Amino acid sequence: MATYSEDSDSSIPRPRGPPNGTVVRGALYYEVGTIVSVRRNDGEFRGTIVDCSRTRERYLVNYNDRHIDPEWVSESDIVDPEPA
């Protein structure tokens, strides 16, 4: 189940993600645990979504490369998602 740390407000209903970890760009949402490639200015890097904003418009990605700190990215920065 996703956790929310950015813009968290328990009084607002949260959107549900796709069933069974299905990834559908532009229509539904990425689930926490989905492995993705993120396009950055210095290339594409592989990482795992570890958190998402309340609106699921931004995702916190923990990169497998230990030299890059986790960062918030938008859906448009995510390429090549794999189901969780």
- How many residues appear in the chain? 84
- Residue 43's pLDDT is 86
| pLDDT 10s digits, 14-66 | 445 444 444 445 545 788 888 888 988 888 889 999 988 877 788 999 987 76
Residue 8 pLDDT exceeds 70: no
Domain ranges within the chain, ordered by starting residue: 1-9+29-84
Q: What is the pTM for the complete model shown?
A: 0.59
| CB distance 76 to 14 below 8 Å | no
Which CATH number does the domain 1-9+29-84 belong to among 2.30.30.140, 2.160.10.10, 2.60.40.10, 3.40.50.2300?
A: 2.30.30.140
